[in-house]
Amino acid sequence: MKRILALLLGIVLLMAAVPAVPALADEEPSSELKEIQGQLEEYIGNMDSVKDEAEITQNTNILRECLAKLEKTSGGPAKKAIEVYCNVLMKIESQEFVDARQNMRALKLLKDNFEAAFLDGSGVNTPLFTVDELESYLQGREEEYMGHDEKAIAAYEACLAKADATKRVAAIKDRMYSDAVNLIIEGKDSDAREKLEKLKNLDYPGAEQMLNNLPTPTPTPAPTPTPKPTITLQIDRIAENRVDLTWVCSQQDIMCTLQRQNSRSTEWETVSVVRSGVSNSDSDSGLTWGEKYRYRVIAGELNLVSNVVDAQIQPTATPKPTATPIPKPTATPTPKITISLWKDDVTTDYVSLGWQCSKYGAAFKLQRQDGGNSTWFTVVEDYVYDTYYFTDWSITSGQSYRYRVVVSGQNSNELSVNVPKPTATPKSTAKPTATPKPSVSIGLQLNRAGINSVDLSWTCGTSGVTYEVQRKGGSSSSWTTLATISSKSYTDNSAKAGTKYTYRIVAQSASGTSNEISVTTLQNSTPTPKSVTPKPVTPKPVTPKPVTPKPVTPKPVTPKPVTPVPVTPAPVTQPPKAWGSWSSWSTNPVSASSTRQVETKVETEYYSVTVYHYSRWKYYNTGHNQWYYSYAQYTGSNYKSGSGEWQYKTTYEPLSTNGSADGHTRYADWWWNQTTGTEQKSRQVTYYRYRDYK
């Protein structure tokens, strides 16, 4: 025993004699990581000074360069920490906030590694965010993107000294103030007051003064409360491994999530997500025998939760419980859409149509039947906002057609059109030379005829074609080429007033000639006087002849008495009055009277308007449990399968801008991808001329 004690004592003394090994210190970052750190500091420091998209892109390239270098750099925890740090910033830059938060979660675990290597334990004297500051900045950017101004400002307050946080807070406050002023202009004082109260609490200059100057709001009677939507859930059947459920929703076309909770957990699990109708059913299978479960239905769009029902899996089927019948809500009938289709003009070359629709901004299809064919095919698809006109150039002379317009599955009246045959020309004795079939089809139309100008445009289904604009008329009976162009519109500014011209378009780089259009330019209301140069006249010299006067002896004259005869003056006849010459045609209205005759004529004037097209990708974000709108199609980790769709919008006035993302401008109501086009329209113009009785 003594030997054992002595041995143990010796071991203790030996261990005490061995010096303690210090803890392994954090590895000093390599020169490559220090270089990347410097570039990262440059990127964050520049965020407060960039002004336009080009500068933002240039600065973002610095961040991309850092990530590219990190892929080729080795280095342990420090390298991994700065790599995740860069990924958080890149996801913020591209507004992929769900991915940014996932990277942020990993960065918080690497917090000590990052700050020890690159901040020396503090972020006071460096442009770099601390990990906590970066988390606050991420929250601010996401809340700002979602339009939650106050939450964004609160998040930015935790990192005001870094990057562009201060500038973003100022921009949000300015936008809130501008929105308040616009609400006052629109007469929405109560909404403006709410925004100004928030700005006052944020110490925004001028907010309190404007609040004091607002008139005291007149209390309005409380509106009749709208019945709250309801969801009622019940169990239909419980089997050995399955539960069948049904629920009734008072509001249709909403996303409903069926959730489950077992007796051993407090967490709710998603069973399915469906777009709800009035009555819905679903089954939950693969359940454990003897286990107790709870179910509920959530409508995320309405923040609505159903009642909770309990189910216990039994070895044999449980009889279906007697359910209290739930009355189905009466469906609101869909208003019938009225569509009116009419015929404007029919020639051997084209059919001109027009229509109106009671549903403003609806998508439509113009469809046609050819001859005796019973099949309808679509000629054109578009969105109608007012009276819509279309010219069908794809017809054949002498054929019959039927047209209709379809909107939301509802049809307009059907219109029958018989296209006339061209006037026959005398047959020539000479054998005609075969003309090759044109490879392109060109449809020429007149937009406007002025005094000294004619505006033309045309359609062609083939790209890369060069066109010759040809004219005859006036002093020339042959075709003259005015211009050779690649565009599909031309203005002839060499036309003379009151002159008849004929135009056509000839494809130069492909075979094909358009229809011919004859037009007479308007008369000039003020005739241009012709200058007359007088011819010089040289007087001929005249030599006077000498004249010798003869003496004259006057004879005596005895005057006879004269009796004056009364004279009756003859009546003077005034020249008869008559109608003067006609004035030039003008669009200025003129009224007729007893001394003025007026004539009118109505002509069709064609013109173009600019239309603005927008699109957006709508999808359900499972990370936020709400709908998102993006400039591009997104199917990432937070995408609910089957929920995405492209949506489109067309307006005659451009939408206001509302921020940007990844170099793409965002427009009002979360629309993206603005493009412009032109739409042909026509109107009836009345011309007047008059003559006076003189």
DSSP 92-151: HHTT-HHHHHHHHHHHHHTHHHHHHHHTTT--TTSSSPPHHHHHHHHHHHHHHHTT-HHH
pLDDT at 390: 83
C-alpha span between 172 and 152 (Å, rounded) = 9
Please identify every stretch of the chain with a pLDDT value under 50, giving residue numbers as ranges. Answer: 1-2, 4-5, 7, 9, 11-26, 316-320, 429-430, 432, 434-435, 437, 526-532, 537
* Cα separation values, 694 from 477, 581, 595, 677, Å: 41, 10, 8, 53
What is the token pair recorded at 83? 């790599």
Task: Tell me which residue of 329, 336, 423, 412 sits closest to 376, measured CA to CA.
Answer: 412
Give residue 311's identity as a one-letter amino acid code.
Answer: A
Residue 672 contacts by C-beta under 8 Å, 6 or more apart in sequence?
614, 615, 616, 629, 630, 631, 664, 665, 666
pLDDT given at position 78: 86
Query: Tokens in use for 51?
Result: 């002004």
Are 686 and 583 a contacting pair, CB within 8 Å?
no
Q: Which position has the token pair 């959730």?
A: 259
To which H or E segment does residue 609 belong?
A: strand 596-621
Q: Is the whole-model pTM more than 0.75?
A: no
- Amino acid 449: pLDDT: 81
Name the phi and psi angles at 493, rounded to 5. -95, 5
Positive or negative, the Cα torsion across 280, 281, 287, 290? positive
What b/e sequence results for 430-458 when a residue is b if at least 16 CB atoms lie within 10 Å of its CB, and e otherwise?
Answer: eeeeeeeeeebebbbbbbebeeeebbbbb
By DSSP bridging, strand 254-262 and strand 269-276 are antiparallel
DSSP label at 394?
A: -
Task: State the chain's mean pLDDT as an integer.
Answer: 81
Residue 585 contacts residue 523 (beta carbons within 8 Å): yes
Q: Compute the distance between CA of residue 25 and CA of residue 112 in angstroms, rounded to an integer.
A: 12
Name the 3-class secondary structure at 39: helix
E strands, 337-414, where?
339-346, 351-357, 362-370, 377-384, 388-392, 400-407, 410-411
Element (H, E) at 167: helix 165-185
**pLDDT score recorded for residue 549:** 59
Calpha distance 332→330 (Å, rounded): 6
Cα end-to-end span (Å), the chain: 154
Q: What is the pLDDT of residue 7?
A: 46
3-state secondary structure of 68: helix
pLDDT at 426: 54
Cα 233 to the chain's mean position, in Å?
A: 41
Beta-carbon count within 10 A of 264 CB: 7
The H-or-E segment that residue 9 falls in is helix 2-17
H helix intervals, 483-577: none
pLDDT at 560: 65
**How far apart are the C-alpha atoms of 585 and 688, rounded to whole Å?**
5
| Residues forming beta bridges with residue 295, ordered by sequence position | 260, 309
pLDDT of residue 12: 43
Say which DSSP state 582 is in.
P
Q: What is the Cα–Cα distance from 335 to 378, expressed in whole angstroms?
A: 25
Compute the distance between CA of residue 619 and CA of residue 641 in angstroms, rounded to an integer.
9
What Cα–Cα distance (Å) separates residue 384 from each residue in 388, 404, 542?
A: 6, 14, 88
